[in-house]
Chain A
Amino acid sequence: MKRRELLAALAAAPLAACTRDNRPRLNVYNWSAYIDPAMLARFGRERGVRIRYGTYESNEEMLAKVMTGNSGWDVVFPTHSRLVPMARAGLLAPLRGTRLPSLGNLDARFRAPVWDPDLRLGVPYMWNATGIVYNRAELHRRGTPEPRDWADLWNPALSGRLTMLDDPEDVIGACLQKLGYPFGSTDAGQLAAAKAEAVRQKPLLRAYINAEVRDQLVAGDVLAAQLWSTTASQAIHAEPKLSFAYPAGGFPLYCDCAAILRESARVELAHEFLEFLLLPDVAAANARVGETATANAAARTGVADPVLYPDDATYQRGTWPTALASVDQRYRDRLWTEIKSA
């Protein structure tokens, strides 16, 4: 009998701990490793609120939850191309600029972005590009030229030591750009040609793989990889023999933005949180801990990392992908299945 009571008490303890905390709550749903936990604690302390923080691994995972319209989250961080579709689906609460006086801290590139010129949908938070990371020293040793453009990833010398991202948008986009077509092309002929390129490249590939490749780049298993600039920068910090190239013929750019959900009952508090994220020292801490590129110019001091922050000439070559129409998305998915089955 005693043991049973003890078990009951043990089970009740965490429940009691939850209910006793009466501070207002703010529920924040973000990409993993994208914030400094100390900053969350600071916001909670300064405003007397309790932040409940959850993480996701892909836009789709977040969208699947948020589309229930009752997910329980207040603030989410979708990639820029998802903002407009989310707003059209009635999932986002419009931002009030007057509540966000620190918007001026943003980098000039993000004050009126093409996807959301008035910053009504989301506040640009972190950004990155897709490019090529490679093992400079080993390529020199083998006499293989350093990759400068997507086409260099079709070099047979890299056979078995080359990876591409496991992402249809990036892979098909790179094939399109290799052929001189636009990244977001919807032309059936161009897409078919791009698919043929991908199938031609496949025998050279070690794998279609995302962030996990970092480890194999550092260990030397992989010599060249299509990868995001933030992940590449983290790998380069661990192994200076690695380098990153922004493809000469163009590359995609992505920006994750802080947005408030329409279902939120704490829109005021959510605005306060977004404003807090814009403070220079907070943004700097978040970028430092996440090893990512912040969209906040005031947070950047000292020498900029050229991998995370490309110069203007390089940046001009980048494009911001837009959301595809349903029928185009379907066609691309079919091509992707064909590539993977080839």
Chain B
Amino acid sequence: MNLRRIFLFPARVWMALFFAAPLAIVCGYSFLTRGEYGGVEQPWTFENFTRLADPLYLAILWRSVRIAALATGLCVALGFPLALFIARAGKRRNLYLQLVLLPFWTSFLVRTYAWLFILRDTGLVNTVLQSLHIIDAPLQLLYNEGAVLAGLVYNFLPFFVLPMYATLERLDPALLEAAADLGARPLATLRRVIIPVSMPGIVAGAVLVFIPCLGAYLTPDLLGGGKTVMLGNLVQNQFTTARDWPFGSAASLVLMLASALLLAGLMRSRVRKELM
């Protein structure tokens, strides 16, 4: 029993010093006033929070949740079969896993700019479609919600595939054989056996995707053309152009609270213990 306590010690110290302590400072900031040149000043106030109850900011919260949920759904739809395929690829599974990760060695920005290449008016898709005479004028593929979704799915797919793979890889082949022996068709096996058994992995992966999507700001900026505001943009903007650290701190605390409530809902359900 002692050993486990020792094992927990480094994580506890690190998280307390470099996560909880800084966060406590941010909590403190959220009750202070914006300084003239961007820092924080007395007096203490609740104003930063009351300001957030505005319908303007509630609409932003709702939009962020909707887009993040859509992106997560797409990641599950795309990632689950991929993880299943890799888990069953035998000796090649490591190679495929690396192939999934390979794009992510390039910078996030480069990947996003690569999407600009593809989606813009003079980009790959429009050029090909035009040269095949399928369309006359270029389609406006960039700077809309579809482009933001594509960017989010592209960037966060590995966050789903990796934990999914870790779960599926452990799946007992005997279980599948038993199902087949009992006459289950492959799709029935998938629905009745594989998916229920791998639920912890699906939930863990979905959580890992949903959360960063909720706070994303670079993708909506670059692929959405800065025309929509998500929570991440709101927070980012307070710490940069608006130089309003107290309001930014309050907004980010609310963002964290929203995500934490969603997580708590999940934890209350059956998967609570299976997550961590």
Contact = CB atoms under 8 A, between A and B. Distances in A.
Instruction: Verify whether A and B have any Cβ pair under 8 Å.
Output: yes
Interface string A27-70: 00000000000000000000000000000001011011001000
Given A219-B122, A325-B36, A340 B242 contact: no
Contact of A58 (B38, B221, B240): B240
Contacts of B240: 58, 60-61
Interface string B211-225: 000000000011001
Interface in B199-250: 221-222, 225-229, 233-234, 237-244, 247
Interface in A318-338: 323, 325-326, 329-330, 333-334, 336-338
A178 interface: no
Interface of A, helix, strand, loop or mixed by DSSP: helix
Given A206-B143, A337-B56, A338-B56, A88 B122 contact: no
Given A58-B240, A60-B241, A209 B39 contact: no
B234 A167 contact: no
A341 B56 contact: yes
A135 to B, nearest CB: 13
A221 B122 contact: yes
A89 B225 contact: no
A193 interface: no
A97 interface: no
Nearest to A82: B37
Contacts of A101: none
Contacts of B243: 60, 63, 329
Contact of A208 (B38, B39, B226): B226
B227 A89 contact: no
A33 to B, nearest CB: 16
B36 A85 contact: yes
Contacts of A205: 225, 227
Interface in A161-216: 163, 166-169, 202, 205-209, 212, 216
B37 A88 contact: yes
Nearest to B140: A160
Contact of B227 (A63, A67, A207): A207
Interface centre among B57, B142, B226 (most CB of A within 10 A): B226
Chain B: interface secondary structure? loop
B244 A341 contact: no
Interface in A110-168: 160, 163, 166-168
Nearest to A332: B242
Interface string B172-187: 0000000000000000
A100 interface: no
B111 interface: no
A4 to B, nearest CB: 23
A220 to B, nearest CB: 7
Interface in B108-143: 120-122, 140, 142-143
Contact of B122 (A63, A86, A220, A336): A220
B162 to A, nearest CB: 27
A167 B38 CA distance: 17
B36 A326 contact: yes
A334 B122 CA distance: 35
B230 to A, nearest CB: 10
B123 to A, nearest CB: 9
Contacts of B56: 334, 337-338, 341
A93 B140 CA distance: 51
B237 A333 contact: yes
B36 to A, nearest CB: 5
A163 B56 CA distance: 24
Interface in B24-52: 34-39
Contact of A67 (B38, B233, B237, B241): B38
B36 A208 contact: no
B60 A341 contact: yes
5 contacts: A89-B39, A336-B241, A336-B242, A337-B57, A341-B60
The 10 closest A-B pairs by CB, nearest first: A207-B225, A208-B226, A85-B37, A333-B242, A221-B121, A60-B240, A166-B226, A340-B229, A207-B143, A219-B122
